[in-house]
Structures are given as C-alpha cells and as structure tokens.
Amino acid sequence: MVKVIKVGMADLQSSVHPCIITTLGLGSCVGVALYDPVKKVAGLAHIMLPSSQQARNNSNIAKFADTAIVKLVQDMLALGAEKSRLIAKLAGGAQMFSFVDGSSEMLRIGARNVAAAKEVLNSLKIPIISEDTGGNYGRTIEIHSEDGKLKIRTIGHGTKEI
C-alpha cells in the first residue's frame, strides 16, 4: 500500500518514497510540487496568496508563496533531499469566476499566485520543468514519489500527467 498524504488549503506536506501526496479541488490557489529524483523525496504545498508581506496575519507560513516554498524545501532537505537536485511542477491558479469588473484584485489572484510561485522558485534556483496553470476550472493533483510525475484531474477538462 502506497501511503497517500492529503494536503489541505494553506497546508504543505513532504515525504520519502513510497508515497502519493495529493491536494483536492485547487481553484485559484496554486499547487507547488517539488521532487528530488535521486532520493525520491516528494513535497507539495497548497498556496492561497502570493506574499506574506501584504497580509495582516502571516502566522501560517504554508499560506503564502514566499514562505511556503522556503519551508517546503527545508522540510525536504531534512528528509534527505539535495537542494541542487530539486525540480518543481506547478498546477492551479485558475480564475473560477469572471465578473464584469474582472479587474478586481481578488479575481486575478490565481495568476498572481502562479507568478509569485515562479519568482520564489527562480530565486531558489529550482527549475520549473512543467506546469498546468490558469484557465477557469478546478484541479485535483497528486505527486508520485516513484518518478515525480504529477497527475491532474479536472471536471470536464480531462486528466493529464505532467
């Protein structure tokens, strides 16, 4: 039996092989999956907001792109991963509703989450090898520790592996 670990909204988890780490119903939130292919250490963060700097309450570091990714990397290094080997895959960051005044900050939060996650990964020099972001639909994702593949399920937009 492969251990399945669930990640909630504003949450992050990591584990060594064998495991599947999953998060359900990603909307505007972005899922950041990290993987060390040699040690087979996998990690997943379900990020709600781009930056802890703009928030009045930033005690939950798993909530923000800037703090969550740094914490996830630390956790994975503690499990034996090597930072230079880490690779990243991104999914989510959709815009579920499109209102007439589509300019409002809340509605573009998906795109801002993706941009923030990329910026943080770049600054940590972790290569982003694939992504399935944007659109107007939700995603359930799972990272497999066996080979680092990220499986994505949707309603009405098929399933894929990246």
Partner 1 sequence: MVKNINDLNSIHIDVLKEIGNIGAGNAATALAKLLNRRIDMDVPRVKIMEFRDVSETLGGAELPVVGIMLKVTGDFTGNILFILKQQAAEILVNMLMGRPAGDSGAAEGHVFDEIEISALKEIGNILAGSYLSSLSALTNLNIAPSVPDLAIDMAGAILSVPAIEFGKVGDSVLYIETEFTEGDKRVVGDFFLVPDVDTYSVLMNALGVSF
Question: Which parts of this chain interact with partner 1 (CB under 8 A)?
Answer: 8-11, 24-29, 48-49, 54-57, 59-60, 63, 94, 96-101, 104, 106, 109, 136-140, 153, 155-156
* Among the listed residues 27, 1, 17, 15, the one whose alpha carbon sits nearest the alpha carbon of residue 141: 27
Cα–Cα distance, 155 to 148 (Å, whole number): 23
Q: What share of the chain is helix, strand, coil (3-state, %, to 5)?
A: 25, 35, 40
Based on the residue annotation, tell me whether 19 is a catalytic residue of this protein.
no
Of the residues 21, 29, 65, 109, only one is catalytic, namely 29
Residue 36 CB, shortest distance to partner 1, in Å, is 25
Active site amino acids? 29
